[in-house]
């Protein structure tokens, strides 16, 4: 079978036409074979409908904690906390119903009337006084029944363990959602306060640093911002993971830079040469002179 090639030659001769890739393929499949086309201008059409920008429905993000205001966050935190508490109460009730012997072990959850045996129970016990149980209890049963008791106990304990682990993970997830709401609630205040504190850091730096022009105060301000950002992100991740309380963790970065802002503002008002290189050189030269006097 001979090879069939399709060659399209773009020439500068007269004529104008439009050819698509589908038309080329149809001609190739029909067996027309080698073909030369001459045209002055070639027009190619690309279908861009798949790249069309489709707006996402805004209703999908209205209830997200990042889109809520302070009042909505307070309502969400209260409702989520109540749901978590109610879920815990329901789980306790269902767990005790599935395992009634646990309630008998805890005398605080059992009424006094239920602890005292009825007369019918005492009569049934009197009838079986002649039957004495040996310790360990499994020795009172046959081997086949003993294996059944052990298998049933293992299945019950495994299912109970899996149920407890599932509920624990569910409670952790609910707590994380509540913590994220609290983090966003505090950030609405901390970011505003941080802007004010950085004003009290940047303005005094411009007055204290008299050499270096605009560049040196900007560099020092950026260093303070990097410190604030690192502490802020670290404390935020610690709060979301449950390591730190979000009420204190989100304000930690603000509490660190607040004394710095107040200190720099105080030094600027008192016209102190805090970041002057010459004053620092004189300060360290005093120590050198004192060491030389001691050595002498």
87 and 202 assigned to the same domain: yes
160 and 263 assigned to the same domain: yes
**197 in any annotated domain:** yes
pTM, rounded to two decimals: 0.61
Which residue has better confidence, 271 or 8? 271
Hunting for tokens 């329901």 — which residue is that? 90
Hunting for tokens 């102190």 — which residue is that? 272
Report the alpha-carbon distance of residue 93 to residue 97 in Å, rounded: 6
Q: Per-residue pLDDT tens for 206-251?
A: 777 766 566 777 788 888 889 999 999 999 999 988 888 888 889 9
Report the alpha-carbon distance of residue 133 to residue 139 in Å, rounded: 9
Hunting for tokens 């767990």 — which residue is that? 95
Contact 20, 46 (CB under 8 A): no
What three-state secondary structure class fits 14? coil
What integer is the mean pLDDT of 6-12?
A: 43
**232 in any annotated domain:** yes
73 and 136 assigned to the same domain: yes
Pick from 18, 181, 13, 171: which is nearest to 90 by CA? Answer: 171
What integer is the mean pLDDT of 37-50?
A: 75
pLDDT at 139 exceeding the cut of 70: yes
Q: Which residues contact 55 (CB under 8 A, 6 or more apart)?
A: none
Other residues' Cβ atoms within 10 Å of the Cβ of residue 204: 23
pLDDT at 55 exceeding the cut of 90: no
Contact 210, 276 (CB under 8 A): yes
pLDDT computed for residue 104 by the predictor: 67
HSE-CB at 248 with a 13 A cutoff on CA atoms is 4
Contact 41, 12 (CB under 8 A): no
Report the alpha-carbon distance of residue 34 to residue 24 in Å, rounded: 11
> Using alpha carbons only, what angle is made at residue 288 by residues 284 and 291, rounded to the nearest 5 degrees?
140
Residue 110: pLDDT band (50, 70, 90) is very low
Which residue has better confidence, 4 or 181? 181
Q: Per-residue pLDDT tens for 152-206?
A: 889 988 988 999 999 999 999 999 999 999 999 999 999 889 988 888 888 887 7
- Which has the minimum average pLDDT: 49-53, 118-122, 269-273? 118-122
38 and 155 assigned to the same domain: no
**77 in any annotated domain:** yes
Backbone angles phi, psi at 140, to 5 degrees: -85, -5
pLDDT at 145 exceeding the cut of 70: yes
Q: Which domain covers residue 34, as residue numbers?
A: 1-46
24 and 78 assigned to the same domain: no
Report the alpha-carbon distance of residue 166 to residue 170 in Å, rounded: 6
Report the alpha-carbon distance of residue 185 to residue 77 in Å, rounded: 10
Contact 30, 146 (CB under 8 A): no
Burial (CB count within 10 angstroms: exposed 0-12, middle 13-18, buried 19+), residue 201? buried
Task: Give helix then strand counts, H and E, for the chain.
Answer: 10, 0
pLDDT at 33 exceeding the cut of 60: no
Q: How many domains does the chain have?
A: 2
72 and 38 assigned to the same domain: no
Sign of the alpha-carbon dihedral angle for 22, 27, 33, 36: negative
pLDDT at 16 exceeding the cut of 70: no
227 and 267 assigned to the same domain: yes
32 and 87 assigned to the same domain: no
41 and 84 assigned to the same domain: no
28 and 87 assigned to the same domain: no
**61 in any annotated domain:** no
Contact 258, 196 (CB under 8 A): no
**113 in any annotated domain:** no
Report the alpha-carbon distance of residue 87 to residue 167 in Å, rounded: 10
Distance of CA 161 to the CA centre of its chain: 27
Contact 173, 69 (CB under 8 A): no
35 and 179 assigned to the same domain: no
The chain-wide mean pLDDT, for the chain, equals 75
39 and 85 assigned to the same domain: no
Backbone angles phi, psi at 173, to 5 degrees: -65, -40
pLDDT computed for residue 27 by the predictor: 65
**159 in any annotated domain:** yes
pLDDT computed for residue 106 by the predictor: 56
Which residue has better confidence, 280 or 83? 83
pLDDT at 24 exceeding the cut of 80: no
């Amino acid at each position: 079978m001979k090879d069939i090639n399709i060659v399209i030659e773009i020439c500068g001769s007269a004529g104008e036409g439009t050819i698509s890739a589908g038309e080329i393929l149809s001609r190739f499949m029909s067996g027309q074979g080698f073909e030369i086309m001459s045209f002055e201008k070639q027009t190619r059409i690309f279908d861009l409908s798949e790249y069309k920008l489709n707006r996402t429905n805004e209703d999908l993000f209205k209830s997200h904690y990042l889109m809520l205001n302070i009042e909505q966050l307070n309502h969400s935190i209260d409702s989520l906390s109540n749901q978590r508490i109610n879920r815990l109460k329901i789980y306790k009730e269902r767990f005790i119903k599935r395992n009634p012997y646990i309630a008998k072990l805890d005398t605080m959850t059992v009424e006094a009337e239920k602890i005292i045996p009825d007369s019918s129970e005492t009569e049934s016990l009197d009838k079986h006084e002649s039957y004495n149980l040996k310790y360990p209890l499994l020795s009172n049963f046959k081997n086949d029944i003993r294996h059944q008791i052990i298998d049933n106990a293992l299945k019950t304990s495994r299912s109970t363990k899996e149920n407890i682990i599932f509920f624990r993970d569910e409670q952790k997830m609910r707590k994380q959602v509540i913590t994220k709401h609290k983090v966003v609630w505090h950030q609405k205040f901390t970011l505003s306060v941080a802007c004010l504190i950085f004003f009290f850091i940047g303005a005094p730096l411009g007055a204290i640093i008299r050499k270096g022009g605009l560049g040196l105060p900007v560099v020092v301000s950026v260093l303070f911002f990097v410190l604030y950002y690192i502490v802020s992100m670290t404390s935020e991740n610690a709060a979301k993971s449950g390591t730190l309380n979000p009420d204190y963790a989100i304000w930690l970065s603000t509490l660190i830079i607040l004394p710095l802002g107040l200190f720099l503002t105080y030094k600027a008002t008192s016209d102190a040469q805090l970041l002057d290189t010459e004053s620092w050189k004189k300060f360290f030269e005093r120590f050198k002179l004192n060491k030389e006097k001691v050595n002498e």
